[in-house]
Structure 1
Amino acid sequence: DKPKPVGYQVELTDTYNAVCWISNADVERVNDPESLIGVQDYFILEKFVSNPNKESTVNRRAYLEGQIKQMKDEFFNSISVGDVVEGTVKSLTSFGAFINLGGFDGLLHLSDMSWGRVTKAKSIVKIGEVLRLRVVSFDKENYKINLSLKDMEPNPWDTFVDRYEVGQVITGTVVRVVNFGVFVEIEPGIEGLCHISELSWSKKNFNPAELYHAKDKVEVKILGYNIADRRISLTIKQLLENPWSSIASKYPVGTKLSAVAVKVMDTAAFFKVVDDIDGFLSIDDISWTEKYKDMHEFVKEGETRDVVITQVDPMSQKIRLSVKDLSSNPWSTLAHSNPKGSVLKATVTSIADGGINVKVNDDISAFINKANLNLPDSSTRISDVYSVGQVVDGVVMDVNIRNQKLILSPREYEKKQSMGDIQQYMSSSSDDDSTGFTLGDIFAKKGSDN
């Protein structure tokens, strides 16, 4: 490889030459050494040797730095904030661009390139472009200056009220999507927020990115604005039909439908009713008689179930669903067909320490405590009198539809039967020629009848 040059030979006169080391040839790094060949300029003489056969030493960078400092001093002593200067785009960075103002640089920040949102400098300026810029601030001691391209144009917020009003509908561009809404640019330099609550009539607890993306064109309506804070409130949903305004007429209470579970929790589930409107099903509304501990036992997300609408509240935007209301309430049927004091048959399903569990009409479960069982005495074990599968008769003591509780008493039934036997015996004895009877006669007769 060709060795890199370390310096230049500089011709001072016809007799004398000098050396300028490459590091002292320019104020910037010399990437192309050939580019300076033939350049005529001033140099600072650092070392002079009178012997023509030996070379002196010169420094061009020191001379240029002195010239630049002089230009900087003159420039910074003459400018004021608000002045307009001309410069050439020298380089681009992630935060803006550096502008060559004649040997020294000024910064054009991204935020000062346009009244609108700028994410990349190359979208506004390009290297080598000559710009007229306004001075926004400078530091004379450290020779730093900040420039603005946007301030060469009027601030659009200054004339906002002349061009916009509350209720006005505008087509804008989505510039940013966040978890609480979307920012929409209605013109360069003016953005408004459409809060998540103003994006949809029916969607709840969703990510705005599900609906909108940067650069989307959207139609928005101005709800309000604050010029001092440069804030605008926008709405999208108010330009759309509110499905809740007609939901009660389209899906009245009593409407039956097959719905898909879109979200299943431990004690409840949401089913899709129409579009983005969901209905709520509580675990308590699955069955009149069967108890579920977890909603996942009944349904999983994506599965379809038959439901009926039991409540529609457009104001609070809620729909309540039920599965058990697809059929009549067996507890209501039981209460109407078996009033207090009537006799009901039940089948023993299990024996417990304090009583027996029974099932009535094949779908209603109840517990008969020991006090209501027909036991010879307190020392008798329940299992000695009752067994699983046994059919027992009992008197209905109470039916609580709301709490789904049935109190059944075989003991009262036995008492009722005994009283019936007594009345029957007394009635039959009145036709007998005998002039008297005793309790012993009654129970003797009962024993013989049995």
Structure 2
Amino acid sequence: TPIEATVTERIKGGYNVDIKGVRAFLPQSQLSHGKNAKESIGKTFPMLVTEFDRRRKNVVVSERAILDKVRDKRKNEIFEKYNVDDMIKGTVSRIVEYGAFVDLGDGVEGLIHRNDLSWSVISNPREVVQPGETVEARILKMDVEKGKISLGLKQKKDNPWETVDGRYQVGKKYHGRVKNLMDFGAFVELEEGIEGLVHISDLSWARNIKHPSEVVASGAEIDIVVKEIDKEKKRISLSYKEVLPHPWDEVTSKYKIGDVVTGKVNNMTDFGAFIEIQQGIEGLLHVSDMDWVKKINHPKEVLEKGQEVKVKILNIDSANHRLSLGLKQTTTDPWETVENTYKVGDQVTGVVKNIVNYGAFVQLESGLEGLLHVSEFSWQNEVENPAEALKVGDQVTVMVYEIDRNKQKIGLSLRRLQDDPWRDVERKFGKDSVHQGKITNLLENGVEVEVTEGITGFVHISQLAAQRVNTPSEVVKAGDVVTYKVLELDRKNRRLKLSIKEASMDSDTKELKKYQAESETGFSDTIGDLLKEQLESFKKNLDK
């Protein structure tokens, strides 16, 4: 039987209560859920005696037991009266992280899980309901054994995604509220339960947006265009930029080819840099249009991201929304004035920038590069590999021997800094002339002979001696001074073919002729003459 008891004080493990002058103990667990301990002091509640020991004068009471009986009675009524899918009214009694509890009467609670509060995505149940609020919910599940009732608030309405394609059409404009901002875009609520994503690339015509907050704010009301609807996956793609004026609509009226404009480096790739000249308008500055003379391998050699730079508009393609820009075109092309800067015959100093198998590219003070061809290294053409004579970074003095402005070429020479030693070779070393020279090098197929300073000729092994020679070392050695005859002079290819053998044969022939000439003036060169002389001498000796 219920009795009236007044809570008098808080003690360890519970409370002291007074029942008409009799002290009793109310355990903490037996004060019904939701009652504030401090506010309960001094208040009177109906309670049941759960333990009584007359000898020890020990009385234990429970306020909660009274409510449990009432609640159990109400719970039985609910399970008998209601079924799943029925609607039921109640008051929001408490809110937790995962949902809201609803008092259905006499302390019987049902739970509306957070996912069942709204068709919209929510992070906090308080976005939908508040404590003390009266709500009508649909019964989703009833567990008689456990005495649990699951409720749904959103189930009062049909699932909006089932008919979404009937209310929204691709390409049309609608109104919505920015619900949430993420790094990759903004979620916009079109109606309860229907949210679409505006990807960051669809927020603005500008390409350098780092975060959606630069364009829209959470909670803002905006117009958007539906791009795509995926009913099965419950996804809608939206675009905000498509309701904004397209910046390209005014490009042709605002800019002309040849205009010099200021822009900001938005992005760089291997082939160039994208320059934003106004919000939503970017142009490509190709690496080939960054410098007149320097070969740019990557834009970072010249530019930095975020840098402001002046560029010239080279081409406007409104149909494809493409803009071609040039950096070097904002300065004078040094090739236009190359003939004023350099003259054929000038001696200039430069730095070796690159070496290839056919020569070396030398950068001059003006920034222009000229080619020092391998054939221009030496008059003797003894350089076959340019890398053996020069290395990148070397400073060299060369002579300009050719300028072609149209082909953008400058011919440079090392050998022309000195007189051509072959200039007088043809006069001094004519064909069939005989000279002396020193052997400088022995080769497998012959020897090289220095005919004059800086000039060598070649004697083939077959021209070394009258007899057969297997190797040059059999008959000569380096340093020997030999007599040679010029067989052939090829000034164009700078080659001299010599012969020691023919020089020697010419010498023998000359001696023979000399001997014959001397014989004709007093010496006999026949056997008959010799016998006659001996006979005359013999006769003289007999006469004596």
The reply to whether TM is greater than 0.5 is yes
- Give distance in 1, aligned partners of 2:367 and 2:130: 71
**Of 222, 229, 252, the match for 1:132:** 222
Where does residue 406 of structure 1 map in the other structure? 496
78-87 vs 246-255, greater mean Cα deviation: 78-87
**Change beyond 3 A, Cα 1:381–1:188:** closer
**Change beyond 3 A, Cα 1:123–1:317:** farther
Which structure 2 residues correspond to residues 191-202 of structure 1 after superposition, within 5 A? 191-202=282-293
SS in 2 for 1:305: strand
Gaps of 5+ in 1: 441-450
Where does residue 296 of structure 1 map in the other structure? 387
Shift of 1:423: 5.7
Shift of 1:396: 1.8
Where does residue 186 of structure 2 map in the other structure? 97
Gaps of 5+ in 2: 1-95, 528-544
- Give distance in 1, aligned partners of 2:283 and 2:186: 28
SS in 2 for 1:330: coil
**Change beyond 3 A, Cα 1:250–1:105:** same
The one-letter code matched in structure 2 to 1:156 is: P
**Of 100, 107, 111, the match for 1:20:** 111
The one-letter code matched in structure 1 to 2:371 is: F
Where does residue 377 of structure 2 map in the other structure? 286
| Equivalent residues of 1:89, 1:131 under 8 A apart | no
- With normalisation by structure 1, the TM-score equals 0.80
- Give distance in 2, aligned partners of 1:209 and 1:439: 97
The one-letter code matched in structure 1 to 2:104 is: L
399-408 vs 410-419, greater mean Cα deviation: 410-419
| Equivalent residues of 1:17, 1:56 under 8 A apart | no
**Of 133, 145, 157, the match for 2:236:** 145
C-alpha RMSD of the superposition: 3.6
| Equivalent residues of 2:137, 2:156 under 8 A apart | no
| Equivalent residues of 2:170, 2:229 under 8 A apart | no
Matched, 1:235 2:326: yes
217-226 vs 349-358, greater mean Cα deviation: 349-358
Matched, 1:367 2:461: no
Where does residue 541 of structure 2 map in the other structure? none
Shift of 1:178: 2.3
Shift of 1:398: 2.0
| Equivalent residues of 1:220, 1:235 under 8 A apart | yes
**Of 313, 316, 319, the match for 2:410:** 319
Matched, 1:11 2:100: no
- Give distance in 2, aligned partners of 1:115 and 1:274: 44
**Change beyond 3 A, Cα 1:314–1:305:** same
Which structure 2 residues correspond to residues 66-105 of structure 1 after superposition, within 5 A? 66-67=156-157, 69-70=159-160, 73=163, 77=167, 81-94=171-184, 96-103=185-192, 104-105=194-195
**Change beyond 3 A, Cα 1:5–1:419:** closer
Taking only the aligned residue pairs, the percentage that are identical comes to: 27
Matched, 1:184 2:280: no
SS in 2 for 1:146: strand
Shift of 1:55: 6.0
CA deviation map 1:167-223 (0-9, x unaligned): 333222232222222222232222222333322221236323311233232333333
Which structure 2 residues correspond to residues 249-288 of structure 1 after superposition, within 5 A? 249-288=340-379
Where does residue 421 of structure 2 map in the other structure? 330
Shift of 1:231: 1.9
Where does residue 432 of structure 2 map in the other structure? 341
**Change beyond 3 A, Cα 1:373–1:49:** closer
**Change beyond 3 A, Cα 1:250–1:301:** same
CA deviation map 1:365-392 (0-9, x unaligned): 33212443343x4479865543332211
SS in 2 for 1:157: helix
| Equivalent residues of 2:165, 2:229 under 8 A apart | no
**Change beyond 3 A, Cα 1:259–1:222:** closer
Shift of 1:406: 0.9
Where does residue 224 of structure 1 map in the other structure? 315
Where does residue 447 of structure 1 map in the other structure? none
- Give distance in 2, aligned partners of 1:133 and 1:151: 10
CA deviation map 1:225-283 (0-9, x unaligned): 23222222333322210111122322222222332222234453222212532222233
CA deviation map 1:86-106 (0-9, x unaligned): 312413132x21112343311
SS in 2 for 1:41: strand
| Equivalent residues of 1:19, 1:55 under 8 A apart | no
- Higher Cα Rg, which structure: 2
The one-letter code matched in structure 2 to 1:154 is: P
- Give distance in 2, aligned partners of 1:194 and 1:9: 63
Structure of higher RCO (CA pairs closer than 8 Å, 6+ residues apart): 1
Shift of 1:322: 1.9
Shift of 1:72: 8.0
Where does residue 302 of structure 2 map in the other structure? 211
- Give distance in 1, aligned partners of 2:225 and 2:159: 19
Shift of 1:291: 2.4
Shift of 1:412: 3.1
Shift of 1:153: 2.2
